Structure 1
Amino acid sequence: MYLIKVKGVAKIPDYVQLRDDEFTLLAYFRVDRPDKSLEKIGLADKAEYIMEAVKNLPFGQILKLEL
């Protein structure tokens, strides 16, 4: 699974994309509101781990997550 952190501009907030190994979009959510999206794709139990990775990831970078 891949994690991408996208920088928002002006009124558009920062977002996170979660993609599978074929780079298909699994979830797209605001950095400050991950709960519903992660729950919807069955990763609510991994939310803390994912959000810690988001916090440390620079904008525009891609990180491969091992879940």
Structure 2
Amino acid sequence: MYIIKVKGVAKIPDYVQLRDEKFTLLAYFRVDRPDKSLEKIGLGDKAEYIMNLIQDLPFGKILKLDI
């Protein structure tokens, strides 16, 4: 699984994309509101770990996540 942090512009907020090994989009959510999206794809129990990684991740970088 891959995490990409996308910088918002003007009134569009910052977003996070979670993608699988084939780079198919699994989840797309605002940085400040991840709860429902992570629950929906079955990662609700790992939400705190994922959000800690996202906080340190620079915009536009791709991070491989092994869960």
Shorter-chain TM-score category?
over 0.9
Q: Which runs of 5+ in 2 are unaligned?
A: none
The equivalent of 2:27 in structure 1 is 27
Give the TM-score, by structure 2 length. 0.99
Q: Which runs of 5+ in 1 are unaligned?
A: none
Amino acid at match of 1:34: P
What is the alpha-carbon distance in structure 2 between the residues aligned to residue 40 and residue 11 of structure 1? 26
Count of aligned residue pairs for this structure pair: 67
The equivalent of 1:43 in structure 2 is 43
For the aligned residues, what is the CA RMSD? 0.3
Give the TM-score, by structure 1 length. 0.99
Deviation of residue 38 (structure 1)? 0.3
What is the alpha-carbon distance in structure 2 between the residues aligned to residue 49 and residue 21 of structure 1? 20
Deviation of residue 30 (structure 1)? 0.1
